[in-house]
């Protein structure tokens, strides 16, 4: 088979194992990601104050206001001092919050080696677009793969360091799930 100018032959030989090892080689990444997170918080705050004045103070107030030593005579005057000079106050705060998320992502994507690091690890990146009718999906992947973690010419995504996995969809199905422009405007307030 003739080789065109500028194209190098793969020197692995007939029985050599085909593994990604240089820039431009492809590698299969098996995506099997499962994440689950849960967070909850609770807060309670209670402050109470209760102060009472003694009966001597009540008599002093009665004399100062001109009621004499016998106290107020009208029902309104009696009601004004009926509390025996007591002061009360209370402050209560309670707060609760929580959030949870669970994601599962599985599939296969073939990526390209974009850099060979000095220690032999491979920086890989790639994306896959799938369009069916009016719907389009994008899967984008990037990260660093150690040749020691490869089985043949594939690696599990859980063995990829600094992995970046992006999954996005566009089309009618995704537009129904997102809020309209007016709703987004009021949510920013």
In terms of pLDDT, which residue wins out, 119 or 105?
Answer: 119
Over residues 155-165, the mean pLDDT reads 93
The whole-model pTM stands at 0.53
109 in the same domain as 35: yes
Burial of residue 29, with CB atoms counted within 10 A of its CB: 0-12 exposed, 13-18 middle, 19 or more buried = buried
Tell me: do 34 and 115 sit in the same domain: yes
Beta-carbon contacts of residue 62 (< 8 Å; ≥ 6 apart): 68, 69, 71, 72, 81
Mean of per-residue pLDDT scores for the chain: 75
Q: What is the mean pLDDT of residues 128-139?
A: 88
User: Can you give the residue range of the structural domain that contains 30?
Assistant: 26-40+100-177
Query: Quick one: which H or E segment has residue 43?
Result: strand 26-51
pLDDT score for 126: 95
* Residue 127 sits in the same domain as residue 157: yes
Q: Which residues are CB-neighbours of 86 under 8 A, at least 6 positions away?
A: 50, 51, 52, 53
Band of residue 105 on the pLDDT scale cut at 50, 70, 90: confident
Query: Does residue 3 form part of some domain?
Result: no
Of residues 165 and 89, more confidence is placed in: 165
Residue 1 pLDDT more than 50?
no
Q: What percent of the chain has pLDDT over 70?
A: 54
| Residue 120, domain member (yes or no) | yes
Please say which residue of 96, 111, 137 terminates a domain: 96
145 class by beta-carbon count within 10 Å (0-12 exposed, 13-18 middle, 19+ buried): buried
- The confidence score (pLDDT) of residue 110 equals 94
Same domain, 137 and 106: yes
Q: What is the mean pLDDT of residues 25-37?
A: 88
The pLDDT, as a whole number, for residue 154 is 93
How far apart CA 140 and CA 150 sit, in angstroms, is 20
Shared-domain flag, residues 142 and 54:
no
Q: Which residue has the higher pLDDT, 174 or 164?
A: 164
């Amino acid at each position: 088979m003739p080789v065109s100018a500028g194209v190098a032959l793969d020197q692995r030989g007939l029985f050599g194992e085909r593994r990604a090892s240089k820039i431009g080689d492809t590698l299969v990444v098996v995506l099997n990601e499962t994440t689950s997170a849960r967070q909850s918080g609770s807060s309670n705050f209670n402050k109470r104050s209760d102060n009472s004045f003694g009966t001597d103070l009540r008599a002093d107030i009665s004399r100062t206001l001109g009621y004499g030593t016998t106290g107020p005579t009208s029902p309104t005057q009696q009601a004004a001092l009926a509390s025996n000079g007591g002061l009360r106050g209370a402050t209560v705060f309670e707060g609760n919050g929580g959030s949870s998320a669970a994601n599962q992502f599985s599939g296969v994507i073939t990526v390209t080696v974009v850099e060979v690091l000095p220690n032999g690890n491979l920086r890989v990146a790639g994306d896959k677009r799938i369009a069916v009718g009016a719907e389009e999906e994008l899967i984008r992947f990037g990260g660093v793969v150690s040749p020691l973690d490869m089985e043949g010419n594939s690696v599990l995504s859980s063995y990829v360091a600094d992995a970046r996995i992006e999954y996005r969809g566009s089309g009618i199905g995704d537009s129904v799930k997102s809020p309209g422009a007016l709703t987004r405007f009021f949510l920013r307030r």
